[in-house]
Amino acid sequence: MSLTRILKMLRKDFALGPRSPIFLYMILLPFALTGLFQFAFGSLFTPQPRLGIVDAGNSAITAAVEGADGIDLTLLDDAAELRAQVEANDLDAGLVLPAGFDDAVRDGGRPPLQFYIGGESYASNRVILTVTALDAIRDLEGSAAPVDVEVVSFGEAGLPINLRLVPIIVFYALALAGIFLPGSSLVEEKEHGTLNALLVTPVKVSEVLVSKWIFGVVLATVMSGVTLALNGALGPRPLDVLTVLVTGAILVATLGLLIGVLAKDSTMLFALIKGTGILMFAPAIFYLFPDWPQWIAKLFPLYWVIEPIWQVSVMGGAVTEVWFEVLVALLISAALLPLIVVVARRMQAQMVSQ
């Protein structure tokens, strides 16, 4: 096996790859899915309360709201503009603080307070903003709250839906770059006759397959990393994230190589990918529904790819915590190699007999 010939074929794949619609689709899909899931679904399921304030006297209430977590604060200069934005549902609520409001409250007075509530705002946002405003006024007055509230949390805090969607986006990045692209590239070589032309030269089938495999590993690693970066899920340990991404890319590229040698043409390639698609995609669904029995996800090969990525990138764990999953992914990749060798020999025999 010649490393020089492998690198030459790999260089050719990277040079010709951008001309393929599939290659461009692979690059654009993570951006499209991130835009759809994070902005559409993320804003739908985790709306942040939006409060507007017109402050004519540099009130301490404004400073208190600015320091509060989870509130989107907008400062305006005109009360009429504030009311218009609340009516247009651009803000969930609006607060008008006249000059001298703080001094009047501290002196025991009852100054007027205009507090607008949007009719289309979420009820949860109304409660949050109302309680926040009342607490800030009570602190300003210096009076204690009428009750002491003790918050007791049961179980683990739930993750936002936008984070639970990350495995789905990463799956598509891995599947396109690691499975579909090298597989389709190999099938295209068969259909165009370039593979036959290569085999009458000193190039060996094994060298062609290794170059396609490296092609898939590199692209899958890069695109899954880009996907995590777009979703703010690179985690606190970049080297650990890179380790699990490369491990995942090795497995998906091996699957892509197997599909590529099995498929005789593009029709068979699409049939194989569609037929096995649910088996590959199934583990990603379990991250949306954590109450489902998680052991079922372990029955699918790509669970051992997605789980390490989830734990290290999203949950911030170390690669040492997912060493078993990483090992299983590598063992599955190694177990597929003999099957690829057998099918590749059969493919070469069929090509010679034609």
Query: How many Å apart are CA 259 and CA 339, to the nearest integer?
Result: 11
The one-character DSSP state at 122 is -
Helix 181-192 with 205-230: angle, nearest 10 deg:
140
Picking from 77, 112, 141, the residue at the C-terminal end of a domain is 141
Residues in the chain: 354
Q: Are residues 249 and 287 in the same domain?
A: yes
* Structural domain contains residue 151: no
Q: Are residues 77 and 102 in the same domain?
A: yes
Query: How many Å apart are CA 302 and CA 171, to the nearest integer?
Result: 9
Q: Where residue 159 falls among pLDDT bands split at 50, 70, 90?
A: low
Q: Where residue 149 falls among pLDDT bands split at 50, 70, 90?
A: very low
Q: Which of 100, 50, 102 is nearest to 76 (CA)?
A: 50
Answer yes or no: are the C-beta atoms of 304 and 328 closer than 8 Å.
yes
Contacts 24+ apart (CB under 8 A), 135-138: 136/60, 136/61, 136/64, 136/65, 137/61, 137/105, 137/113
State how many domains the chain has.
2
Query: How many Å apart are CA 41 and CA 273, to the nearest integer?
Result: 27
pLDDT of 154 over the 70 cut: no
* Structural domain contains residue 148: no
Q: Are residues 218 and 301 in the same domain?
A: yes
Q: Are residues 130 and 260 in the same domain?
A: no
pTM recorded for the entire structure: 0.67
Q: Are residues 209 and 347 in the same domain?
A: yes
Q: What is the mean pLDDT of residues 52-59?
A: 87
Q: What is the mean pLDDT of residues 297-311?
A: 89
What pLDDT is recorded for position 214?
93
What percent of the chain is modeled with pLDDT above 90? 16
Q: Are residues 256 and 329 in the same domain?
A: yes
Q: Are residues 224 and 257 in the same domain?
A: yes
Picking from 109, 141, 173, the residue at the C-terminal end of a domain is 141
Range of weakest confidence among 157-171, 196-210, 338-352:
157-171
Q: Are residues 216 and 340 in the same domain?
A: yes
Q: Where residue 206 falls among pLDDT bands split at 50, 70, 90?
A: confident
Q: Are residues 202 and 58 in the same domain?
A: no
User: Between 69 and 253, where is the model more confident?
Assistant: 253
Query: How many Å apart are CA 285 and CA 131, to the nearest integer?
Result: 37
Query: How many Å apart are CA 342 and CA 296, to the nearest integer?
Result: 31
* Structural domain contains residue 154: no
* Structural domain contains residue 341: yes
Q: Which of 167, 169, 183 is nearest to 272 (CA)?
A: 183
Domain residues for the domain of 121 are 48-141
The DSSP secondary structure of 225-289, one letter per residue, reads HHHHHHTT---S-HHHHHHHHHHHHHHHHHHHHHHHHH-SSHHHHHHHHHHHHHHHHHHHHTTT-
Q: What is the mean pLDDT of the chain?
A: 82
Task: Dump pLDDT digits (tens) for 259-277.
Answer: 988 888 888 888 888 887 7
Task: Dump pLDDT digits (tens) for 63-91.
Answer: 888 877 778 888 988 889 999 998 888 88
Q: Are residues 248 and 192 in the same domain?
A: yes
Query: How many Å apart are CA 166 and CA 309, to the nearest integer?
Result: 10
Count the Cβ atoms, other than its own, within 10 Å of residue 107: 10
Answer yes or no: are the C-beta atoms of 294 and 306 closer than 8 Å.
no
Question: What's the CATH number where 86 sits?
Answer: 3.40.1710.10
Q: Are residues 94 and 242 in the same domain?
A: no
Query: How many Å apart are CA 34 and CA 172, to the nearest integer?
Result: 11
Q: Distances from the Cα of 227 to the Cαs of 44, 105, 112, 295, in angstroms?
A: 21, 51, 51, 26
pLDDT of 44 over the 50 cut: no
Q: Are residues 232 and 260 in the same domain?
A: yes
